[in-house]
Structure 1
Amino acid sequence: MSDREEFLVWLQSEFVRAERAMFDGDDGPRRAIWSADEPVSVLGAWRNATNRAELVEAFEVLSTTFSNCTDYAFDLIAFDVRGSMAYTVGYERVATSINGQPRAFSLRATQVYRLEADGWRVVHRHADHVG
């Protein structure tokens, strides 16, 4: 299997499971797919973070607002893998409850990944609402 194929398998399994869990109120799987090594950053639709401590806090706070995720899909537009770095560009389509109110929305998301000793890890995310 090529590096690109291995990355896509990870993305379509572990990454998608972690994001779905986040929108169901569990930030543990999302934190696990993020790098523990600096630098890490988020320019998010709801929160920003510029280091690991801020990232963990943002994920913990956000996860308390989400529940009852009934659908999550990541529509991949473009990606590439170059050695130990990769990126993705795509749309996240989500149906969940926010503060108990059912909502469906789409986010544009660009992410950067680093291949570490224990596998692929997210190091940067930029997401915003599709207008």
Structure 2
Amino acid sequence: MSDREQFLVWVQSEFVRAERAMYDGDDGPRRAVWSEHEPVSVLGAWRNATDRAELVEAFEVLSASFSHCTDYAFDLISFDVIGDLAYTVGYERVSTSINGEARTFTLRATQVYRRESDGWHVVHRHADHAG
């Protein structure tokens, strides 16, 4: 299996499971797919972070507001793997509750990943609401 194929399998399994868990109120799997090594950053639809401590805090705050995720889909538009770096561009389609209120929304998300000794990890995310 090529690097691109292996990366795509990881995105469609571990990454998607972690995002769905986040929208169901559990930030543990999302923290696990993110790098523990600086630099890491998020320019998010709800929160920003520029280091690992801010990242963990942002994930904890966000996950506390989410619950009852009934659907999560990552519609991948583009991706590539270049050595130990990779990126994805796509739409995240989410049905969840935010502070107890059912919501459905779509985010445009671009992410950068780094291959580390234990596999792929997210190092940067930029997401905003799709108009």
Task: Report the TM-score range of the alignment, normalised by the length of the smaller protein.
Answer: over 0.9
Tell me, in whole angstroms, the C-alpha distance in 2 between the residues paired with 1:91 and 1:74: 6
Shift of 1:96: 0.1
Aligned partner of 1:42 in structure 2 is 42
- Equivalent residues, number: 131
Q: After TM superposition, give the deviation of residue 49 of structure 1 in Å.
A: 0.1
Percent of aligned pairs with the same residue?
82
Alignment-derived partner of residue 16 in structure 2: 16
Amino acid across the alignment from 2:21 = A
> What is the alpha-carbon distance in structure 2 between the residues aligned to residue 45 and residue 9 of structure 1?
26
Residues 84-119 of structure 1, C-alpha deviation per residue, up to 9 Å, x if partnerless?
000000000000000000000000000000000010
Runs (4+) of structure 1 exceeding 3 A deviation are none
The correspondence of residues 78-97 of structure 1 with structure 2, limited to 5 A, is 78-97=78-97
Measured in 2, the distance between the counterparts of 1:26 and 1:86 equals 25
Flag structure 2 segments of 5+ consecutive residues without an equivalent.
none
What is the rounded CA distance, in whole Å, between the counterparts of 1:66 and 1:96 in structure 2? 7
Question: Which digits, 9 at most, give the CA deviation of each residue in 1:19-77, with x for residues without a partner?
Answer: 00000000000000000000000000000000000000000000000000000000000
Q: TM-score, normalised by structure 1?
A: 1.00
Structure 1: 5+ residue runs without aligned partners? none
Counterpart residue identity of residue 129, structure 1: H
Aligned Cα RMSD in Å? 0.2
Partner Cα distance (1:59, 1:118) in 2: 22
1:118 is aligned to 2:118: yes
